[in-house]
Amino acid sequence: MSDPEALFAVQRRLAPARRSGFDRVARLAALDRLRAAVLAHRADIEAALQADFSKHPTETLLTEIIPVLQEISHARRHLRGWMRVRRVWPSLTMLGASGRIVPQPKGVALIIAPWNFPLNLALGPLVSALAAGCSVVLKPSEMTPATSALLARMLAETFPPDLVAVVEGGPEVATRLLALPFDHIFFTGSPAVGRIVMAAAAKTLASVTLELGGKSPVIVGPEANIAKAAKWLAWGKFFNAGQTCIAPDHVFVHASVAAALEEALRAEILRMYGGNPASSPALAKLVSTRHWQRLRGLIDGALAGGARLAEGGGGDEAARSMAPVILTGTTDNMQISKEEIFGPVLPLIPYDALEPVLERINGGDKPLALYVFGNKALADRVTAQTASGSVGVNLTVMPFIHPNLPFGGIGSSGLGAAHGYEGFRAFSHEKPVLVNRSLAMPLLFPPYGLRVRRLAEVLLRLVR
């Protein structure tokens, strides 16, 4: 069954029974089935990512398969605690009542996955939804057809359609899905499409988790370990050919270490990808010719405006390959400085004083991630004086992977959080239940005579 409306109707009809019947044992069994499916299809996953991105099998293992298995393992280990009913202490006015919070599945969830990590960012939210007890309609990206087809086949083999169903297709299918009254929508993608998703969710009053993106900046201070910074920057920027929502977008580097960082980055690119990076099997391809052309246009526009090509420039449009590029001399009025790069192109921007850098970051949209390389004083100042979804100090990308850290954006970079307990909460309704045992509140019910007035005055003195 692939009709979106029919699939939704089946899952919606069974949602009330699942609310009480999909207990911890059933949820653990579902997670076990998902883990077994991922392991059984490991070779198929690597082949699909090779077909879509020419992605190296080791990179697929590290960035697509292992994060999903870690998410499953973490959820299994902590599910009992996450599902536990939590008692709450009464306030003064609630003496005589018993309060508790009961986590319940929101119901039927829609997951719209992106193309850049088409397995990880589809199955990661699915783990959270199953842990929370929700059924799911999953729409993978049409931009990665091999992985999309594999997800459809793999999940159809693993789950009945009333629990997990995959709907393939393009924007027209997404539009049909967004018109349905899902209980929760989890979307990963661009801020522009995120606004469309949020507008559609408003029509049905569905709750949303939006994992978006933005221009994630890096600040390299004068005391930074340049060799360490270059290693983390090269990896964080160029794995998956820079098509990562939390990849470093541009680097503000103190002028005193700018030349050293540029040279160290060249050395890291050579070490990771060899003398002809565009043909390296370790470097993924771009997802489409259109995306390659967009990036080439950003590079050419920057060079025409006076920027300098410090490294790279090789590649092939037909093969969708692009060698890592380092640019210097970019300016604010260039298009590359205005839009998220989302590719293997890294501008280096020297600075002398930190304050203008912070003003520039705070003057733009709030990024999904911000990275700092330097001492604790620099990291603490940047963390305190900027707003971002997450902060990484002397590393890149890793805040996304930590299972006990919430991952999410702020403002135009996202809404809500995912992973671990925060992912469980995203798909759960924390229902408050209050039981009256001996509440004194009826003493304050109308009619409002002198006795009630005096009692209210006493209460006022106690609570203020």
- Residues above pLDDT 90, as percent of the chain: 97
Strand blocks (E) in 267-374: 308-311, 315-316, 321-322, 325-328, 345-351, 369-373
Give the chain's mean pLDDT: 96
Mean pLDDT, rounded, for 308-337: 95
| 419 within 8 A of 398, measured Cβ to Cβ | no
Res 16: pLDDT: 92
**What's the pLDDT score for residue 157?**
97
Q: pLDDT of 285-316, one tens digit each?
A: 999 999 999 999 999 999 999 999 999 988 99
pLDDT tier, 73 (very low <50, low <70, confident <90, very high otherwise)? very high
Spatial distance between the Cα atoms of 133 and 339, rounded to a whole number of angstroms: 38
Helix and strand counts by DSSP (H, E) for the chain:
16, 18
Q: Where are the domains of the chain?
A: 4-212+412-431, 217-408
pLDDT recorded at residue 1: 46
What is the predicted pLDDT for the residue at 314? 87
**pLDDT at site 41:** 98
Q: What is the pLDDT of residue 21?
A: 85
Dump pLDDT digits (tens) for 232-267.
Answer: 999 999 999 999 999 999 999 999 999 999 999 999
The mean per-residue pLDDT over the stretch 173-187 comes to: 97
Residue 278: closest CA among 292, 291, 260, 265: 292
- Say which residue the tokens 């541009």 belong to: 250
pLDDT digits (tens, 9 = 90+) for 345-403: 999 999 999 999 999 999 999 999 999 999 999 999 999 999 999 999 999 999 999 99
Give the predicted TM-score (pTM) of the model. Answer: 0.95
- Catalytic member of 46, 59, 211, 311: 211
pLDDT at 159 over 80: yes
Q: What is the CATH number of domain 217-408?
A: 3.40.309.10
Among 245, 262, 311, 422, the one annotated catalytic = 245
**One-letter identity of residue 176:** R
Contacts of 197-206 with CB under 8 Å at 24 or more apart are: 197/112, 198/415, 200/175, 203/179, 204/179, 204/180, 206/110, 206/181, 206/182
Contact 177, 4 (CB under 8 A): yes
**What would the mean pLDDT of 39-48 be, rounded to a whole number?**
98
25: amino acid identity, one letter: V
The top-level CATH class assigned to 4-212+412-431 is alpha beta
Q: Is 245 a catalytic residue?
A: yes
Contact 413, 213 (CB under 8 A): yes
